[in-house]
Chain A
Amino acid sequence: MRKLVALILLALLTQPLVFAQKHRSLSEEQRIIHVLNRLGFGARPGDVERVKAMGLENYINQQLNPEKITDTVAENKLRELSVLNMTTAELYEKYPQPGQLLRQLQARGMVPEEMPADAAKNNQNQPPANPLDNEKNRKVIEEYYRENGLQRPQRIIAELQASRILRAVYSERQLQEVMVDFWTNHFNIFANKGADRWLLPAYDRDTIRPNALGKFSTLLQATAQSPAMLFYLDNFQSVSPNANQGRRGGLLQQVRPQQQQRRGINENYARELMELHTLGVDGGYTQKDVQEVARCFTGWTIFQPRGGGAAVNAMMGENGRRNAGTFVFNARVHDDGEKTVLGHKIPSGGGIKDGLMVLDILAHHPSTAKFIATKLVRHFVSDTPPPGLIDRVAATFTKSDGDIRETLKAIFFSKEFNSAEAYRVKIKRPFELVISAIRTLGADTNGGPGTHRWIERMGEPLYGFQTPNGYSDAAESWVNTGGLLERMNFGLALAGNRVQGTTVSLAKTNGEQAKVMDEYLKTLLAGDISAATRDALLKQLEPTDPATKVVGLILGTPEFQRQ
């Protein structure tokens, strides 16, 4: 069986002989570990044997079709995360912003506006920063939250982060989770920008997940019409300066007073769409193209981007309530003139079709194929992506009409991916490090803030990257002193059961430190450790040391930082 699998794999490689010369090959066991590390977040106890039994190629193909994998364990773990299944409108209602709520209550006369501030007590070094620091206001708000079964908005992102951790740890659909992480970074959104924290659960659920292994063009359109992206890159407020806006248009927009004067074209989305989502910075577009694309997307907006006030909801009725925070095309503010984008004429009067045409042009542009191929190869193979592989992967992308599955296959069955040069060279990003440590140790986690806090400390809070380019996929961004120190501290905390919400049970050493150490080197690193590191580790161990120490140290070795 083992030989058969090896033969099949060999046959799949396009140039096995050249490969044998240029690229040192991996053993079967190494290939399995490599796949479990790159297509997933590391091997749980028993995973290597499981993959060996079913055959590596079968495993890869199964991972490429996640919808066919049953995933009961992960689904059960997510049960208590209620935000995952709520509509944006429900999130606005159940997780209101305290400041906004206070203003609403004040406007309705339920809280007196003039509150003697604690400030007046001249409490020198502990000044209240906002009205909610006022003791009485805070009490009123707290009461209101309790009585009405409401929760703080911070909870939304905390639950979303927990869902990402839980799925990465427990899901059998490992490649799906890797791709969700990849696309979430590629189409990055920052949770702390305005309404985005309410918009992100839908973004993860409805935009990224269903399309993570589908067609790139479908994914691209889903992001373009996602309220989260429309808000993050300001397109929701981009309107034609010539648009004749009646009162109804104004109501639909629901902009805050300080934004009302900023009517007009906003080029932000148009630029990032080409620079970061499709063509790449040198992909061959001009400033003129940016302006024209921005014109095409005028009117792509959000119905009640901030949930809308009570008055608006009353006027709009139940329909208005349900649809708050969803995509809407507002034809009244759309620039309906003719445009030219990357040499393509977009005729006047196209309405919403203008934007759809732009997305189509971009999704099928050769620069996009190259840009996406480069990023995928960097992610799955090496920080310095081999140009030959990029070209082949880009060709597959184009030939398959941007089929992400097919594109990934071209990577996974390439000689470069399966070479010794690619083995354990990628530095794990903090999310990958935390998840792989939990998985390889067979630890149990609730995915809560206690675990996420470590990912944040190491510099990668989920949905916490401010600018649209997303977290870097190259080692240089992650190898710095503070970051390395936190990685070591995380290893010690995890092994010592000091990561809140995550528990690990380690073997008893019974005075056999060396034996236990070697067992853990096998579990955590499949024994891939330099003689120097093993020797240094061994010298550290006293006969009385618990496994906590050896595991903590192994998690902090240079070797464990790589995958």
Chain B
Amino acid sequence: MNRRFFLKSGSVALASVGMSLSAPSFLERIVLGNTLTGGKRKTLIAIFQRGAVDGLNVVVPFGESNYYELRPSIAIPKSGNDSAISLDGFFGLHPSMSAFKPLWDSKRLAIIHASGSPDNTRSHFDAQDYMESATPGVKSTSDGWLNRYLSSKKDADESLFRAVSMTKTMPRVLQGRASAVAMSNLSEFAIRAGKSSDNLQGGFEAIYARETKDSLAGMGRETFEAVNYLKKANPGQYQPENGAQYPRTPFGTSLLQIAQLIKAGVGLEVAFTDIGGWDTHVNQGNSRGQLANLLQQFSSGIAALYQDLGQRMDDVVVLTMSEFGRTVRENGNRGTDHGHANAMFVLGNGIRGGKVYGQWPGLKSDQLYEGRDLALTTDFRDVFGEIATRHLGSTDVKSIFPGYSSNASKFKGFLG
């Protein structure tokens, strides 16, 4: 559904605003919201690479001789067959990520290298926890930073689809006071009872419409407005635009459905999804192999999303993250173990791309963190903070990152 169709169909709902004494319904709110903002809602798509991706083989520091010394069998060559895609003469992209090259060349894609969490944990569990709560070292934080962002910026026109996670359960990063929806597939956001679905949905709608005293009833009515709205958007019939081809994997489908929600104008502000399998302790591969294949899926999925969204990327930022990096030295199984700093990507038409941000700490033995890992020069909260402030328009980063003073002087400047 395009925005014009949406506004047209939404006008019916708008007309009823004056007659209703209750709070504006879901549909009314997003109609109002889109009208007030000209439909230009800023959106963040956050992607978590669970399992700790080997950032040194993603954004390859081929200008470092130590990189080749420490990785005799898994390094990505600087030149020749299957070599890294040169970015700036010092860094190169993994050759399976060629889908990112045009985005880099058109300066829509930026990299923040040697970034991540300052905590030295090498536990996946703890590190993911810290990256999602954005309070490294503090385990008792009960909410995630994206939820704190949502709570900090009350949205009068808040849509039920303001925050959507395309995952089976609500990820830590979106847990908290503000409401968010988690679903593994848009088609699941419905009454699912085969042929009787419509009939039964009608039954529930009637029950929840009649009930007045119970607070659950209001939630029920909102739920069905959202369900019906999504139904009109007809997720099953979606055709990506501009020839975009998403990988036919759960990750590709998640991205496709996020694009679909953005185009349907449902008021999406924060989208989240994740992709696993990065914990390459054994036979990681080099230019080809398991990491290469996963990176191919990862980059082609994101590139398809970019292509599909077209001009809408003016208002969208894609952010990727992973809990920590991997050891600089390859291990005895042609893989890598848990390390420290990593590389993050940011993508969007508003991104000052074509640049690797962050100070490069070097890979000489005395430059390594705890003698083995890439050292950290950019705290991930400064990357999150810049996006929250300059893209999403937050004026309250302090409440998003408790106990941390994130401010403009620490921002890398990829959003100007």
Contacts and interface: CB of A to CB of B under 8 A. Distances in A.
A, B from the same assembly:
yes
Interface of A: 99, 102-103, 106, 113-115, 117, 119-120, 122-131, 133-134, 190, 192-194, 257-259, 261-262, 268, 271-272, 275-276, 281, 427, 456-457, 459, 461, 464, 466-469, 475, 479-482, 484-485, 488-489, 492-493, 496, 530, 532-533, 535-537, 539-540, 549, 552-553, 556-559, 561
Contacts of A469: 140, 142
Contacts of B216: 427, 479, 484, 558, 561
A193 B125 contact: yes
Interface in B235-284: 247-249, 252, 276-283
A492 B202 CA distance: 13
A194 B199 CA distance: 46
A481 B288 contact: no
A117 B289 contact: yes
A536 B282 CA distance: 60
B203 A126 contact: no
Contact of B208 (A129, A535, A558): A558
Contacts of B300: 125
A262 B206 contact: no
B200 A492 contact: yes
B296 A124 contact: yes
Contacts of B142: 467, 469
A481 B337 contact: no
Interface in B80-126: 120-123, 125
Contacts of A492: 191-193, 200
A79 B179 CA distance: 42
Task: Identify the 5 closest CB pairs spanning chains A and B, nearest first.
Answer: A129-B277, A127-B293, A558-B216, A540-B203, A532-B210
Given A456-B169, A466-B172, A536 B209 contact: yes
Contact of A257 (B199, B212, B337): B337
24 contacts: A106-B282, A119-B292, A123-B293, A128-B293, A130-B277, A131-B282, A131-B283, A271-B139, A456-B169, A459-B169, A459-B170, A467-B139, A467-B172, A468-B140, A481-B179, A484-B216, A485-B223, A492-B200, A532-B210, A536-B207, A537-B203, A549-B199, A553-B200, A556-B207
Contacts of B193: 489, 492-493, 496, 552
Interface residues of B, number: 75
A480 B181 contact: yes
Contacts of A122: 288
A467 B59 CA distance: 32
B276 A129 contact: yes
B333 interface: yes
Contact of B222 (A268, A464, A481, A535): A481
Contacts of B276: 129
B1 interface: no
Nearest to A552: B200
B279 to A, nearest CB: 7
Interface in B172-188: 172, 179-183
Considering residues A127, A268, A272, A553, which has the most beta carbons from chain B within 10 angstroms of its beta carbon?
A127
A482 B220 CA distance: 10
Given A259-B123, A475-B215, A552-B193, 5 more contacts: A119-B289, A124-B297, A259-B122, A469-B142, A482-B182
Contacts of B168: 456-457
A539 B205 CA distance: 12
B297 A125 contact: yes
Contacts of B180: 480
Contacts of B292: 119, 127
A553 B129 CA distance: 39
Contact of A119 (B183, B196, B214, B285): B285
A188 to B, nearest CB: 12
B226 interface: yes
Binding site secondary structure of chain B: loop
A106 B281 CA distance: 13
Contacts of B120: 262
B370 interface: yes
Taking each of B210, B213, B276, B278, which has the highest tally of chain A beta carbons within 10 Å of its own beta carbon? B210
Q: Give the one of A130, A268, A275, A466 with max B CB within 10 A.
A: A130
B219 A119 contact: no
B294 interface: yes
Contacts of A484: 216, 219-220, 223
A489 B210 contact: no
A77 B9 CA distance: 55
B59 to A, nearest CB: 19
A275 B138 CA distance: 12
A461 B297 CA distance: 29
Contacts of B140: 271-272, 275-276, 281, 467-469
B290 interface: yes
A103 B334 CA distance: 12
Given A130-B277, A484-B223, A558-B216, A115 B283 contact: yes
B13 interface: no
A425 B172 CA distance: 28
Contacts of B278: 129
Interface in B128-142: 129, 139-140, 142
Contacts of A134: 283
B288 A120 contact: yes
Contacts of A488: 191, 204
A127 B294 contact: yes
B129 A467 contact: yes
Contacts of B282: 99, 102-103, 106, 130-131
